[in-house]
Amino acid sequence: MKRKIFSLFLSTSLLCTALTGCSSKGAESSEGKAKDTIVYSMNTAPQGIFNPLVSDTASDHYVESVVYASLMTVNDKGELETYLADEYKVSDDQKTITYKIKDNAKWHDGEDVTADDVAFTFTSMAASDYSGGYYGDVQNIKGAQEYHDGNADEIEGLKVIDEDTIEIEFEKVYAPAVTNLGTVQILPEHIWSEVAVGEWTNKTELLNNPIGCGPYKIAEYKSGSHVKFEAASDFFDGEVKTANLVFKVINADTTQAEFKSGSIDVANVEALTKADVDSLVKEGYKKVDFDNYLFTYMGFNLRNEKLQDVNLRKAFMHAINRQGIIDNVVEGRGQVLNAPLLPSSWAYPEESTLDSYEYDVEKAKSLLKEAGWEDKDGDGIVENEDGEKLELTLVCQTSHPVREKTAVVIQENLKEIGVKIDIDSMEFSSVMDKVVSNHEFDLYMMGNTLSLDPDPRPMWHSDAISNEKGVIGYNIVAYDNQETDKLIEEGNATLDQSEREAIYGKFAKILNEDVPEAYLFCQDIERVYNSKLEGYKPSTFNEFYNVHNWVIK
């Protein structure tokens, strides 16, 4: 029983770049002869945590997208299709999925990819010492909770039938199962089983030199500079058409110049103005637009007593000129978001059911006063009845122009209602330590991934709140609501899309009213690329799903 599903997950936004002086542009390569290197530029350097279960940056995920492979992938039409899996079947009661792996799949060290590798990957995600954010994807497998709690030695619902076949049984119907499990990148058991799951992030040599089964393997990784890949000679999905691929880290300010010099073939144009993009297109480059699955938001630390009053959070929403940010920071390339669901998804509710939080300074001041904050001494900063000033710190990532500029706008907007914001800028790895692991923040700015087939559990369920021991999920703001917990569980337990739509409508309305984070905007994705590049068909959920077919002639 094969089927296609509209899906979720996986990465977008990045670019390949070659370190060799390849001429790009509407670039002329010598008469019909294919270039041996494609260069993709990225503005943020990878952290070198090239293990998809524990990495937490988009740049690392880009690298993993070409090194590793998942059982399923998402094509440029947003459809789920088989990839490492040759086929899959779903039982009549919808509680069991059987995947059969392609028999020609091999790891980059020559070992066969087997069902044991799949079982190992999913089991690792349920380990008690697993610190990544994907336990929610396997939590519904029969026996996963017992294994996670240390009451079982294995997961009952994971059954290796033979070398190429694995059966996964769930406690109950889990609607996003095929998508969520199918798009997990598989790890080699013979490499990672030698290390305790809780120690994975400490194994720099393994992380920097990953063994995958995807179309490319890493030939050279230079921190802060580039990742150079070479084609896998025995890739299971066919010949890899370009011998070398390079992800080159480029300062956002020099992206256009690098492109014009011919040193990159695909470019993330987030940092470019519309005029820059138009100029490149006029010179013969091509441009492609596709929907984003990531939105920018500002999180409130709900552990902080000051931020627990919903009227204060609503005041911030009305004080922030979100449309102004879209118009001026990203030049109109985006849309305002009022709930944490993908706007193009069937699950996103009618806007009329949500508070749109229009930019309204006077309303923001009124709500702030209701929350007990008023400027009584005329110094421009509001204080509470104890005389404490409302001064907060906003943690923001450096080397991300859009977020840095957005943070400044928010600082200026909130100053208008008497709130003093200090911006604390740092590298992304430091943001993760400070915000996710240690909770040393008032406000933070980050991006969040959304999906067409939602499972809000990893981000919004109370059991996904990160704790003092590190991350057990990505509910970073510590949002704890039994009503939304129940809705999340109900949405995962029915296959009826109309029922799920109604459930997620209620979920979205509550999140819209509670504003545990300030939903800012969903930015459109644009890429400019070499006009000679063939096969480049980026998917919203996986820009590199067909990277083995990219070729410049």
Question: pLDDT tier at 29 (50, 70, 90 boundaries)?
Answer: very low
Half-sphere exposure of 1 (CA within 13 A, CB side): 11
Do residues 248 and 41 make contact, with C-beta atoms less than 8 angstroms apart?
yes
- Cα–Cα distance, 267 to 528 (Å, whole number): 5
Q: What is the pLDDT of residue 505?
A: 96
The side-by-side arrangement of strands in the sheet containing 517-523 is 334-336, 517-523, 294-300, 443-449, 391-397, 420-426
In this structure, the number of other CB atoms found within 10 A of the CB of residue 462 comes to 16
Please report, for the chain, the start and end positions of each structural domain, with discontinuous segments joined by +.
294-523
- Cα–Cα distance, 75 to 12 (Å, whole number): 12
Interval 495-534: pLDDT, tens: 898 999 999 999 999 999 999 999 999 988 888 999 999 9
Q: Give buried/exposed letters for 24-36 (b at 16+ CB in 10 A, else e).
A: bbebebeeeeebb
Do residues 152 and 158 make contact, with C-beta atoms less than 8 angstroms apart?
no
Cα-based distances in Å from 533 to 34, 245, 279, 281, 485: 10, 13, 19, 14, 46
Q: Token pair for residue 34? A: 């294919």
Give the residue among 520, 524, 553, 519 at the shortest CA–CA distance from 538: 524
DSSP 8-state assignment for residue 308: G
Asked if pLDDT for residue 442 goes beyond 90, the answer is: yes
Strand-strand pairing, 420-426 and 391-397: parallel
Amino acid, res. 259: F
Q: Which run of H or of E encompasses 447?
A: strand 443-449
Would you call 118 helix, strand, or coil by DSSP? helix
Do residues 186 and 118 make contact, with C-beta atoms less than 8 angstroms apart?
yes
User: What's the whole-number mean pLDDT along residues 130-146?
Assistant: 91
Helices (H), 320-360: 322-329
- Tell which wins on pLDDT, 60 or 468: 60
Among 277-281, 342-346, 430-434, name the one with the lowest average pLDDT.
342-346
Q: What is the pTM of this model?
A: 0.81
User: What's the whole-number mean pLDDT along residues 394-402?
Assistant: 90
Length of the chain: 553
Lookup result for tokens 């809705």: 487
pLDDT > 70: what percent of the chain? Answer: 92
Q: What is the pLDDT of residue 111?
A: 98
User: What's the whole-number mean pLDDT along residues 158-167?
Assistant: 98
Q: How far is CA 216 from the centre of its chain?
A: 21
Asked if pLDDT for residue 11 goes beyond 70, the answer is: no
Q: End-to-end distance of the chain based on CA atoms, in angstroms?
A: 40
Q: What is the pLDDT of residue 271?
A: 64
- Cα–Cα distance, 285 to 263 (Å, whole number): 13
Q: What is the pLDDT of residue 468?
A: 56
Question: pLDDT tier at 43 (50, 70, 90 boundaries)?
Answer: confident
Asked if pLDDT for residue 104 goes beyond 60, the answer is: yes
Cα-based distances in Å from 406 to 129, 323, 327, 365, 494: 36, 11, 11, 21, 39
Q: Which run of H or of E encompasses 336?
A: strand 334-336
CATH topology of domain 294-523: Dipeptide-binding Protein; domain 3 (3.10.105)
Interval 222-280: pLDDT, tens: 999 999 999 999 999 999 999 999 999 987 778 888 888 889 999 877 767 788 888 88
Among 26-40, 404-418, 458-472, name the one with the lowest average pLDDT.
26-40
Q: Token pair for residue 179? A: 């998508």
Interval 67-76: pLDDT, tens: 999 999 989 8
Q: What is the pLDDT of residue 471?
A: 46
Asked if pLDDT for residue 196 goes beyond 60, the answer is: yes
Q: How far is CA 450 from the centre of its chain?
A: 8
Half-sphere exposure of 154 (CA within 13 A, CB side): 9
Amino acid, res. 319: A
- Cα–Cα distance, 91 to 528 (Å, whole number): 44
Q: What is the pLDDT of residue 204?
A: 95
DSSP 8-state assignment for residue 469: T
Amino acid, res. 141: I
- Cα–Cα distance, 255 to 204 (Å, whole number): 30
